[in-house]
Amino acid sequence: MATSLDASPHTIREPAPSIHARPWARLLLPSYSDCLFIAVLFWLASTGNGTWAGLLADGDTGWHIRTGEWILQHHTVPTHDLFSFTKAGEAWYAWEWLTDVFFALLHSLAGLKGLVLLSALVIAAFGTLLFRHMIARGATPFAALAVSLLVFGASSIHYLARPHIFTLLGLTVSLWIIDSDRRNPSARVWLLIPITLLWVNMHGGFLGLIACLGLLVVGAFLESAAAVYLDGSPWNLAPVRRYGILTAFCAAVSLLNPYGWHLHQHVAAYLRSDWIRNNIQEFLSPVFRSESAMQFEGMLFLGLMAVVWLISRRSFVPALWILFWAHQALSSIRHVPVFMIVASPFVAAALTRLWQIWVEPAGRKSFRGIFASLARDMAPGCTRTSVWIAAVTLAFALLPESVVRWPRDFPEAKFPLRMAALHEERLVSGRTLTGDQWADYLIYRGYPRQKVFVDGRSDFFGSEFGDPYLYMMQGRWDWEQLLEKYRIDTVLSPVGWPLTSLLKQSPAWRLVDDGGSAVLFEKVRSYQVPSAQQDDSSRKKAQSLSNENPRPGRSY
């Protein structure tokens, strides 16, 4: 602070009002959280050679769009399979029907551009709100930013235009509401009831909120019990009753979906399925080799250290949350982003406490003191919002194609675009076997005529058709009999499938097109498939080609 030239040296002039205090400046000047939101948008825009196509790296988006179109056309939700020739007409439920409708409407209005822009906005919103939650809890901006970068990196495996992005946003908002209510109870916590009602019709991740609420009740009881037995305080069960009632209401409104309690039955069976846990990549345990996995590993260690700190403070609720979701994330990579969301506010709080211990003894002009002053000055700019988020979003939406490159199709590096376009009639008219993700893309291109063997709905096909699919793609010894059993007459296979090499050598199949990454075969009509009793040499040959053991699902 400067002193007046005509005043006593000991007289300090009051600082001039900050420009940030002026209403127009608060509206026009971007905040730090705005900058984070916009930076994430540009980061997502840079994927897929600058066409946002990284958000379309999962083919499930295709059948979600077509399901939404079916719902809009028939004004009801489907109750039977729409996409396969293996389970045609069998009972199937579009559990994420509301998201499917949103996707279909956006696709009809703006094509794939609308889908990826919405997905990018949701992803940027979840990360920015998480950052602001940390700041609201008193975290220093440096700790909040460092933790946010870990969250963005480790969660990037789920940055896809699929319904689960609404779980990332829903859980972030819900946990902030709960955390705020625990520190300052208010009526806002009951907003979780309508949030659950919306969420249950968009994605099955609503059960993550129910789990957190259940742990909240248990943790609130433990905190009250600790006060009684360690401090001699009287029992205070008001929080237990409050959150118990909230949990009951949220669980009750989750039944308000087109399928009622069958949705919960389905999700429970889905999560318990050994076949899915053993064969679908997103349900496997994480492998700590990729950059995102190492970021998760770093947060895992920080989270476990934060648990010790939280328990020492008798804060059992967040400790239970972190431990529960750490276990879930180590069991299935699918739950890694949930763990990151749950743990980050408390990890940031613990880091902030270490920061305070480091800077408190420092002088104002020391290196540490300058950084402490900078952190204090930055904090107000992390909690406001300006017009810049809306302006940048509008610019992305309205700028011409020559400036903003939007995807016109799914990414060619992931899907057989050329093959699907060149041989569309053959693929539509045949009983086609292809990868589950490629099948999703064929549904997007060719529905309602296109039918597939299996697609990305692993919960629907299960082991009944999932095992034969694996055996054929792996070129197991009885692959010919399986192709005959299901009357497969067309195979669109990735070049890396063991089955591809076997088909190239088989007189029963004709090579139609070899596109490098994708190969198309059709069956020779006059050929007689040998019996199931193959000779030993043929069986050993097939088994040797199946050693790669490719898996269905997403390659995280």
Query: How is the beta sheet containing 490-494 ordered, strand by strand?
Result: 432-434, 490-494, 518-523, 509-514
**Integer distance in angstroms from the first to the last C-alpha of the chain?**
53
pLDDT band for position 549 (50/70/90)? Answer: low
Chain mean pLDDT for the chain: 89
In order, the DSSP letters of 107-146 are: HHHHHHHHHHHHHHHHHHHHHHHHHHHHHHTT--HHHHHH
Distances (CA, A) of 422 to 411, 416, 428, 443: 17, 10, 12, 16
For residue 441, the one-letter residue type is Y
In a 3-state reduction of DSSP, which class is residue 431? coil
Residue 4 φ then ψ, to 5°: -70, 140
Side-chain-side CA neighbours of 310 within 13 Å: the count stands at: 24
Among 79-83, 190-194, 264-268, 416-420, the range scoring the smallest mean pLDDT is 264-268
Residue 13 φ then ψ, to 5°: -75, 145
Contact 360, 140 (CB under 8 A): no
Structural domains of the chain ordered from first start: 19-51+95-395 (no CATH), 417-545 (3.40.50)
Side-chain-side CA neighbours of 489 within 13 Å: the count stands at: 13
**Which H/E stretch holds residue 522?**
strand 518-523
- Residues 512, 504: Cα–Cα separation, whole Å: 10
pLDDT band for position 24 (50/70/90)? Answer: low
- Residues 222, 236: Cα–Cα separation, whole Å: 11
pLDDT of residue 426: 95
For the stretch 159-213, pLDDT in tens is 999 999 999 999 999 999 999 999 999 999 999 999 999 999 999 999 999 999 9
Distances (CA, A) of 67 to 76, 279, 350: 11, 25, 45
* Nearest CA-CA partner of 91 in 360, 460, 390: 460
Tell me: pLDDT of 294 over 70.
yes
Contacts of 255 (CB under 8 A, 6+ apart): 261, 264
For residue 515, the one-letter residue type is G
- Residues 91, 262: Cα–Cα separation, whole Å: 12
pLDDT of residue 207: 94
